[in-house]
Structure 1
Amino acid sequence: MSGETIASDATRPTASGRAGGPGPRGGGQLPAVPERAERASRRARLREAAWGYAFVGPALVLFGVMGVYTIVYGFLLSFAEWNGFWPQWNWVGLDNYADLLWRSPVHAPAVREAGVNTLWVMIAVPLLTVAISFPLAVILNSARRMGGLLRSVYFLPYVTTGIAVYFAWQYILEPNGAINLLLRSVGLGSLEQPQGFLGNPDTALPTMIVVMVWSSVPVAMLLYLTGLQALDNSLLEAAQLDGAGWWRTQLSVVWPLLRPITAVIVLLNLRDSLQGFQVFLIMTNGGPGNSTNVLGLETYRLAFLAELAPTLGLASALGWLLFLAALVVALVNQRALRRVG
């Protein structure tokens, strides 16, 4: 009888919810090892996060000062009149935008002319870049010898683009430059430009478009070349077995497969054509007259070179109009990429 009592006492649950019996020291409760490990892991994660924020903090502060602050500052300035030296702004509301678009007899015509020139650049540069870079990529992809050398030669314009190259283009295109000399030497003196290709209002903008295409073709060509090397050769072989010639294969098989790359190239060139102005500033400064003035250069002129002060508010307003135009272009390109993807 006593043995049964002892057995039942041994199997009776204790206050801790476990079966009785010889338990651990300290009243039969196990030490909270998982809780200690969890607290230690939490402290380690907090310490790691603190170090991460410490390293990222300076970059965030710099972005906040140079990025967010300047964006908000420029947006507010677009609704004000200020010459950069006045102690206070003169709030004018939407007058700056109205003056740029239609109301001002001084600024509105210049903005419209710059907008037309920018539109021509946005149309011509992407089309010519695609028309030149795709055949070059096809030729390089089929080259059996000296392929690496040819790629380096064709990519050289992108590596060397900069202020020095733009000045070199100026020397080439001037009245006594290499282009006029070459035309005279081959008997095409009727095409020679006595004022230089950048001094004639009829040839200045087309010449600038050629320079921009020259600097944008290398990247586009490499993108096409990468896409060509990633194509499945079985598709090309199937087209050839069906009787398609070389031209038919390139136009009906290869070109449709590279449409996503074409969309990316067009977007990049549209962005550069809309917002870029460095090449125009260095080579022509918008001249002769305003024949090569673009919207980006007009913004720079209003901000730093305007004779009619104050125009910093106008420059900021035009900059935000350019931003909206670039946003629309990006949205249209995104929709186009979804269709061709």
Structure 2
Amino acid sequence: MALPIRVPGRRRRGTRPAEAPWGYAFVAPAIVLFAVMGAYTIGYGFSLSFASWNGFQPHWRWVGLQNYADLLWASPHWAPIVHQAALNTLWVMLAVPVLTVVVSFPLAVMLNSVRRLRTLMRSVYFVPQVTAGIAVYFAWQYILQPDGAINLLLGSLGLGSLRQPQGFLGNPSTALPTLIVITVWSAVPVSMMLYLAGLQAVDPALVEAAQIDGAGPWRVTRHIIWPLVRPITAIIVLLSLRDSLQGFQMFLIMTNGGPGYHTNVLGLQTYRLAFLSQLDTTLGLSSALGWMLFVAALILAAVNLRVMRKAT
């Protein structure tokens, strides 16, 4: 009868090592912190979207789906404001990703082909990303004023017809396009670096083979480089859509949604309902609008994931 061979260091199934309680003890604070600051906060905010509350009363007044209905169609006051904010957000979501790709990809191709001063040029183009956002927004606000640098520059160049007496942020027809341009300006550095990393990973043999066959720079870029960096483009579009849908810091600082509601976006409207509204029952409306933005972001992420799978 053969004796069972016992391998040193192995434990029988069902037994736990003595270190397991210590591991649970070290992980427990993080789990408790997430449960309190994450799960509880999410559940609290979701419940608030079905209630009317001013933040000070001891009890909520449950209204069910009325907050969602008021934001979408029922309220003659809030529904038009939300519709205008949704339209502005849609314009931002359409323009920012396209312009970011159109600007950042050629810059990345140019930097990838430059041999001298590449590090210096890369640092110069990356400056908007490392500067403090609030300070930059105030600087742009000063430049775009009626007596700001842009109007003075247009006047000195003989383009006085393009000057804006109200300022570029005070004119309803130029305020939103101006903010879109600034958003693209701040988004280009990261997108350019992502493209540059992808370009440097392209096999040089593919480019050399195409050049030997007679392909010029345009054909090489269009038929070889661009398809290879398509997954990076999908990532850049997703990041731009996310920032366009939920971001509001620049709109709050530079225009606060004005003039009128011409630069009011959904993220800013959510903030205004929660903290800037003079009414005392808008916290529930703010929570409901925030949850609608969250659902929209999930849908965009799912669509983008599907597109990325097809691209790869």
C-alpha separation between the residues in 1 aligned to 2:133 and 2:167? 21
Runs of 5+ consecutive residues of structure 2 not aligned to the other structure: none
CA displacement at 1:241 relative to structure 2? 1.6
Moved over 3 A (4+): 32-39
Q: Which structure has the bigger radius of gyration?
A: 1
Map Cα deviations across residues 204-228 of structure 1 (whole Å, 9 max, x no partner): 0000001100000000000100111
C-alpha separation between the residues in 2 aligned to 1:36 and 1:139? 58
Matched, 1:62 2:33: yes
Greater Cα shift, 120-129 or 50-59: 50-59
Could you say which residue in structure 1 is the equivalent of 2:66? 95
C-alpha separation between the residues in 1 aligned to 2:180 and 2:24? 46
Map Cα deviations across residues 106-131 of structure 1 (whole Å, 9 max, x no partner): 00000000000000000000000000
C-alpha separation between the residues in 2 aligned to 1:125 and 1:314? 28
Could you say which residue in structure 1 is the equivalent of 2:210? 239
Could you say which residue in structure 1 is the equivalent of 2:18? 46
Could you say which residue in structure 1 is the equivalent of 2:276? 305
What's the TM-score once normalised by structure 2's chain length?
A: 0.95
Matched, 1:326 2:294: no
C-alpha separation between the residues in 2 aligned to 1:18 and 1:273? 71
Q: Is the 8 A contact 1:274 1:295 kept in 2?
A: yes
Q: Secondary structure at the match of 2:94?
A: helix
Letter in 1 for 2:18: L
Could you say which residue in structure 2 is the equivalent of 1:155? 126
Q: Secondary structure at the match of 2:279?
A: coil
Relative distance call for 1:134 and 1:18 in structure 2 (3 A) is: closer
Q: Secondary structure at the match of 2:215?
A: coil
Relative distance call for 1:245 and 1:34 in structure 2 (3 A) is: closer
Matched, 1:121 2:92: yes
C-alpha separation between the residues in 1 aligned to 2:209 and 2:9? 66
Letter in 2 for 1:332: V
CA displacement at 1:175 relative to structure 2? 1.1
CA displacement at 1:306 relative to structure 2? 1.0
What's the TM-score once normalised by structure 1's chain length?
A: 0.87
C-alpha separation between the residues in 2 aligned to 1:258 and 1:37? 48
Matched, 1:216 2:216: no
| Matched ranges for 1:186-201 at <5 A | 186-201=157-172
Map Cα deviations across residues 130-185 of structure 1 (whole Å, 9 max, x no partner): 00000000000000100000000001101114111111111111111111111111
CA displacement at 1:188 relative to structure 2? 1.0
Matched, 1:185 2:136: no
Q: Is the 8 A contact 1:161 1:215 kept in 2?
A: no
C-alpha separation between the residues in 2 aligned to 1:227 and 1:307? 49
C-alpha separation between the residues in 1 aligned to 2:194 and 2:212? 28
Q: Secondary structure at the match of 2:92?
A: helix
Could you say which residue in structure 2 is the equivalent of 1:166? 137
Greater RCO structure (CA 8 Å; 6+ sep): 2
Matched, 1:268 2:276: no
C-alpha separation between the residues in 2 aligned to 1:142 and 1:73? 53
